[in-house]
Amino acid sequence: MKTESKLEKVLNSGKFAVTAEIGPPKHASGDGMKHHADMLVDYVDAANITDSQTAIVRISSIAGGVHIKEKGVEPIVQMTCRDRNRIAMQADILGAYSLGMRNLLCLSGDHQKFGNHPTSKNVYDVDSMQLIHLVRRMRDEKLFFSGEEIKENEPRFFVGAVANPFADPFEFRVDRLEKKVEAGAEFIQTQCIFDMERFERFMEMVRERGIDERVHILAGITPMKSWRAAKYIGNNVSGMIVPDALVQRLKNAEDPKREGIEMAIEQINYIKENVKGVHGFHVMAIAWEEVVPEIVERCGLYPRPNVD
């Protein structure tokens, strides 16, 4: 093991890993996050704490990590390139590690245009590719981004990245995934999968190039609450594809919420059995964390392995 990450241990054990997402609130209390952590603690190996997702100001991902860690859930700290220059990033990386965080997910971040501060300046001093490379270098070569030596106590993160099989240009998405793996990504969480056919084509290319043997890919799963939500995501969120058939199924359902849960379970079970190269699931139940235990249980992913 290269790190003290529990997620790394689970993934290396060859068992399917399960991660979830806890979104910090737009206020200064961590109680809600702790409540969600209590709910998830036995059902996931680790949980992402988003970094001012959709560019809306929230409790920071590192502070959020402290809250859920207190409740026994291992945090995956998300770090976007939108808000910090390379100095602030490294300060936060050192700080997060000092607080016991062991997983870091590197991503570009949603453009501030979508958030509640659309007139702010964005940073993008380094991009997600560079962040992956440099966080790995901090750990493996004990070097700051500048190349200066870290004399002691280097941060030893298990480094993750994201991939979006539904963005364009499609073929280059596999190239870019490989580029992230080359840069040092050790686990990958994908964007929410609704278009299974496209995801399978993506994974086929991934397997042809053997990328699945060099990185742990966690398939992104999102249960939908209503056909309107599904339609909205398909039409308004960049880089998302929601097939009409899926929208239709929710529309025809007597109990759409129940149907949404069933569909998420079907997706996971389908991937488990049919899509080789997937090493785990990232269940993003946006503002619907309470359904995660049922999904995990009914997909045969409960109890979670004890790797300590």
Partner 1 sequence: MIIAQQKSIQDIASMIEDCNKVLLVGCAGCVTVCLAGGEKETEVLAASLRIKRRLENKPLETVTFVATRQCDPEYIETLESYVKDVDAVISLACGVGVQYVAERFSDKWVVPALNTNFIGGSLNHGEWEERCGLCGDCVLHRTGGICPIIRCSKSILNGPCGGSQYGKCEISKDMDCAWQLIYDRMKALGKLDKLMEYQPPKDWSKSRDGGPRRAVREDVMID
Task: Give me the residues that bind partner 1 (CB under 8 A), please.
Answer: 81-82, 86, 107-108, 110-111, 113-114, 122, 124-130, 133-134, 145, 162-164, 166-169, 172, 175-176, 178-179, 182-183, 191, 238-239
What SS3 state is found at 112? helix
Q: Closest separation between CB of residue 168 and partner 1, Å? A: 5
Q: Closest separation between CB of residue 21 and partner 1, Å? A: 16
Q: In the 8-state DSSP scheme, what is residue 149?
A: B
What SS3 state is found at 235? helix
| Nearest CA-CA partner of 272 in 44, 8, 22, 18 | 18
φ/ψ of 23, rounded to 5, equals -90, 125
**Smaller CB distance to partner 1: residue 106 or 283?**
106
Query: Could you give the CA distance from residue 223 to residue 230 in angstroms, rounded to a whole number?
Result: 10
Q: Closest separation between CB of residue 82 and partner 1, Å? A: 8
What are the distances in angstroms from CA 56 to CA 112, 224, 227?
A: 8, 22, 25
Q: Outline where 184-255 has alpha helix (H).
A: 196-208, 227-236, 244-252
**What tokens appear for 61 in the block?**
């991902």
**Smaller CB distance to partner 1: residue 71 or 209?**
209
**Smaller CB distance to partner 1: residue 185 or 301?**
185
Q: Residue type at 219? A: A
Catalogue the E-assigned strands of 57-186: 75-80, 103-107, 158-163
**Smaller CB distance to partner 1: residue 124 or 302?**
124
φ/ψ of 97, rounded to 5, equals -65, -40
**Smaller CB distance to partner 1: residue 155 or 165?**
165
What SS3 state is found at 1? coil
Q: Which residues contact 293 (CB under 8 A, 6 or more apart)?
A: 39, 40, 42, 43, 302
Is residue 246 within 8 A of residue 194, CB to CB? The reply is yes
**Smaller CB distance to partner 1: residue 21 or 289?**
21
| Nearest CA-CA partner of 156 in 308, 11, 50, 5 | 5
Longest dimension (CA), the chain: 62
